[in-house]
Amino acid sequence: MTVEIIVYGAEEICASCINLPSSIETTSWLDAALGRKYGNQVRVRYVDIDQPITDEEIEMANKIKREDLWYPVVVIDHQIVTEGNPKLKAIYQVLDKIGIVDRHE
């Protein structure tokens, strides 16, 4: 089983996140961190909220803008897991719940 983790963000860093990495940098960081722990069971993908493509991406991008969420926004199984500076612990908890196993266990 492979789970897709979507990181929504924008080229411009949100005003409240000035000292944090960009959404694209966060995507790369999450991909590396989660890849080490879960191997090919997870796939991390970036979506620019200013250029969403699918209906689902458009809906989530509109929600992020409408609710003024801090990006990057990390989504797993259509649920927002974390926003702003992503917390790995929160992501791990969701992945554990859906049955993704640490490849080192």
Name the token pair of 45: 């993908």
d(CA 62, CA 5): 18
CATH of domain 3-97: 3.40.30.30
Q: Percentage of the chain with pLDDT > 70?
A: 92
**Domain spans of the chain?**
3-97
> Does position 20 have pLDDT exceeding 90, yes or no?
no
Of the candidates 67, 94, 95, the one whose C-alpha atom is nearest the C-alpha of residue 8 is: 67
Q: Which one is predicted more confidently, 95 or 14? A: 95
Global pTM reads 0.90
73, 23 Cβ separation under 8 angstroms = no
With tokens 């620019």, the residue in question is 48
pLDDT digits (tens, 9 = 90+) for 39-86: 999 999 999 999 989 999 999 999 999 998 888 999 999 999 999 888
